[in-house]
Structure formats: C-alpha cells, structure tokens
Amino acid sequence: MTSGIIDHRAKKLRRQLADRLEADGAVTSPAWGTAFAEVPRHVFVPVFYKQSPTDQRAVDLSSPDEWLDGVYRDELLVIRPDARSSSTVPGLMATMLEALAVEDGHKVLEIGTGSGYNAALLSHRLGDSKVVTMDIDPELVADATARLDAINYHPTLGVGDGLAGWPARALYDRLIATCAPDKVPKAWLEQIRPGGRIVTPIATGIAVLDVTGPREASGHFLPGAAYFMPLRAGQRPPDVGAMIDAVKRSTESGRETSTSPDVWFDGDFSFLRAAAVPGVRFLAKLDNGTAVFTHPDGSWASVADSVVVQSGPRHLWNLVEGAHRTWLELGCPKRDRFLLTVDGPQQQISLAGSDQEWELP
Ligand SMILES: C[S@@+](CC[C@H](N)C(=O)[O-])C[C@H]1O[C@@H](n2cnc3c(N)ncnc32)[C@H](O)[C@@H]1O
C-alpha cells in the first residue's frame, strides 16, 4: 500500500470512528468530534501488540489492512511489547476529554503521554502552546515527540514521575491523567488553579474533580469503568513466575469461603473493592483454575473450589469478602453514586445519600 492509499483509507476510517464516538455519546461537542475526525491515530500507533491468549504478535504496516482497521477501532491498543504502555480506548478518551470541559485559552497538563495521541488531540483543540504532557518512560516521550513533530504539533513534552506534576509550566487550568494514582497527588492540587479541574482514573473509575484551593477539591465519578495502568515509579513489575511458584510451594492450610473469586471481576463491585481494599491485584489464574491475588507488601491469597489460602501480613481475601458484603448491603451501587473529597491530607470516597466513606491510603 502506498502512503497516499494509507492516508486516504485512514481518513475514511477516522471519520467512521468519530461518527461512532458521537453516536455512542462519548463525543458530545463539535470541537472534540472534529479533533477525532482529523488527528491521525495511526501516526501514533505504528505498531500494536495483540495479546489475547491465542494471538500474541505485532501488527504493523506489513499487514496494512489489519493494522489500520485495528488502529481505528474503538479499542485499547498495547503499544509496547512488555505491555507497559497503551493507547487508551478512544471512547474512554473522548469521555474524559469531554469531562475535562476545556475552554479556548486553557492550559492543560496530561500525565501519561504514552503514544502521544491524546496530546495531539489536546493540541488540535487548544493549540500546542497550551499543552504539556509527561511520561515516566523516556523512550515513549522520545517516540511521541517525533510523531507529534511529524504532523506539526509541538506541545511541551517532559520525562518524569507524574506524581510530581510538571511545576515548570504551572498553574494549569486542567489536568488529565491516563494512568491511575492511588489518590490525587498533592502536586496536582497545587499546580491547578482554584476553579480548575482534574480528570483522573482512581479505583477503576474516572474522578471529575473541581479544585477549590491548593489542597482542596471535590467531585464525582463517571458511570463507566476505567481500568488504567497504575502510576508506576520506575520500579520493575512484580515477578509473576516467582510469585506463582511461591503459591504452588506453599504449605499454608486453607479455610472455606463462600465468596467466589468471580466477584473480583464484577465490573460494578470492582470500584468499591478498589476503594476499600487498595493495592490488592489479581495476579493470575493457574492451570487448575486457582485464582491468585497479591499485594505489594508480599501478601497473597489463592482461591479455588470454595477454599482460600492466605499468606503474608494481610489476609487479602478477608478484606475482599468484607468489601463485597458491604457492597451487597448497600444495594450494589454503581460508580456514579460515589463522590471524592480532598481536604488537606485527607481524601475520601463516599457514597451519596449514605454515611459510608472510604479513606484513600
Ligand atoms: C494508558 S498509557 C497513556 C496513553 C496516552 N495518553 C496516549 O494517548 O497514548 C499510560 C501511560 O502512563 C505512563 N506512566 C505510568 N506511570 C507514570 C508516572 N509515574 N508518571 C508519568 N507517566 C506514567 C506509562 O508509561 C504509560 O505510557
């Protein structure tokens, strides 16, 4: 396929994607509709990695139809072979960008440059002098810079830990994060002007927060689920193989549980679970069907056939069971019934119309 044919086909697919985002209600304003119809996602995703259990391979220009069709589907695309970065689902990006409620002249900080596609959309909407984007991974930032340059966008790009924000260009009117912090970092609150807004994943939901002071903000969660990668701090990911070996070798005795490991994957429960039991992760399902959960402190729990085995300083499954009981007692509330309040060092998720709240760690 020549580059002319690729551009022509990409333009058509992009238009279809923008129409789809509008039809789905993810895009609600003409400005973002135009941005999705005009900014070429394929420039930012020259290769993506299929990672299903049956299909693990790179898809790129060598199979042009599959590549372009994949790039312009409303799907998440893994952009690094080690899965440490991805291009977010366009529908979710659009929902977050709409919730950001930018106005002409606003200055925006994005945490998590990744492919650079979101930075390009922001540059299209606001002008690149108003956009600052940063990622912890220098290689990603170098690639994103080159791709943005190639289509003539020159936002400010930085390498660093997003927890610290990007003070050099503060104050910002808006902050959008595409990796998930455990709680709203102090630096973000300090770098957004009072009256500004933060849109960030937290606890598998998207928080839309209005900033009222350097240490104060409050807001709500959007209805949809959002499973973003956690903000990382330069550390290597856990050694899954070593942990699974530890679980298999364990001689700890188990107890019965009436909570199925499947509750972990209930999309609505996952929000309260992440708020109430932060840090716990699903690690893997073993060949014999055992589900394994871990915590950064080294605790783990394995659950199979109504028996749970737990090891380490925290009894992880007791915590998940407790959160699930609470969620059932509360009538299985969905994400958009929860609020987030930041008051100095305290950050709480609460359930509207109840006295239930969960302190973020
Ligand atoms: C879902 S991807 C971002 C998608 C991106 N916005 C795009 O348009 O392609 C999340 C990104 O967050 C980055 N990230 C993770 N931890 C970070 C941190 N502590 N500070 C800054 N970026 C971080 C990852 O390297 C990854 O590229």
Q: What is the pLDDT at residue 116?
A: 98
The CA distance from 35 to 22, in Å, is: 12
Residue 86: active-site member: yes
Pick the residue with more confidence: 235 or 132? 132
Q: 123 CB less than 6 Å from ligand 1?
A: no
Q: 203 CB less than 6 Å from ligand 1?
A: no
Residue 234 scores a pLDDT above 80: no
Structural domain boundaries in the chain: 3-221, 240-329
The CA distance from 175 to 181, in Å, is: 13
The CA distance from 190 to 98, in Å, is: 23
Residue 321 scores a pLDDT above 60: yes
Check 29, 52, 62, 86 and give the catalytic one. Answer: 86
Q: What is the pLDDT at residue 2?
A: 82
Across the range 206-228, mean pLDDT stands at 95
Q: 342-349: which pairs have CB atoms within 8 A and are 24 or more residues apart?
A: 342/184, 342/189, 342/209, 342/215, 342/216, 342/217, 342/218, 343/215, 343/216, 344/215, 344/216, 345/215, 347/183, 347/184, 349/202, 349/203, 349/275
The CA distance from 149 to 144, in Å, is: 8
Q: 271 CB less than 6 Å from ligand 1?
A: no
Q: What's the pLDDT tens digit per position in 83-115?
A: 788 999 999 999 999 999 999 999 999 999 999
Confidence of residue 246 (pLDDT cuts 50, 70, 90): confident
Whose C-alpha lies nearest to ligand 1, atom 13?
A: 112
CATH number for the domain running over 3-221: 3.40.50.150
Q: Give the mean pLDDT of the chain.
A: 94
From 48-52, 68-72, 152-156, 336-340, the region with the lowest mean pLDDT: 48-52
Q: What is the distance in A from the centroid of ligand 1 to the CA of 152? A: 22
Confidence of residue 241 (pLDDT cuts 50, 70, 90): confident
Whose C-alpha lies nearest to ligand 1, atom 4?
A: 114
Residue 44 scores a pLDDT above 80: yes
